[in-house]
Structure 1
């Protein structure tokens, strides 16, 4: 599956450079990052909607 030498990354890390990712690894990481971003966005919308729903009419019943 992986034709790269695992010692390559260790040597590169010791030298101070970042380990190189294959295009497949980069594609998978990007997919995970997008999924995490979507989930966080949906949670923010859910919390906002729950807050508005819990306040309900009470938002309008305040002294001006």
Structure 2
């Protein structure tokens, strides 16, 4: 039958915990809502991964098998100096 009073520190801690809980719930709701909106948009989404997207490149016609008119430059070895 002892009277138990709540200490002020416990009230403050509970208040902070409730506030943090509400912020976390709001963040989860925001992420969920953004996910739903992106999924419902229906567009083909591709992330930016530093690679060319094949779906965005223009179609190329196959190259013809004609011989090249210019020859490739010849590579010559540099003379070695003996010392």
> Could you list the runs of 5+ residues in structure 2 that have no partner in the other structure?
44-83
Larger radius of gyration between Structure 1 and Structure 2 = 2
TM-score by length of 1: 0.57
TM-score by length of 2: 0.45
Pick aligned residue for 2:26 from 41, 59, 62: 41
The structure with the largest helix share of the pair is 1
CA root-mean-square deviation: 1.9
Q: Distance in 2 between matches of 1:44 and 1:23?
A: 32
Q: How many residues were matched structurally?
A: 43
> Could you list the runs of 5+ residues in structure 1 that have no partner in the other structure?
1-9, 13-18, 59-64
Q: Distance in 2 between matches of 1:22 and 1:57?
A: 54
Poorly superposed stretches of 4+, deviation over 2 Å: none
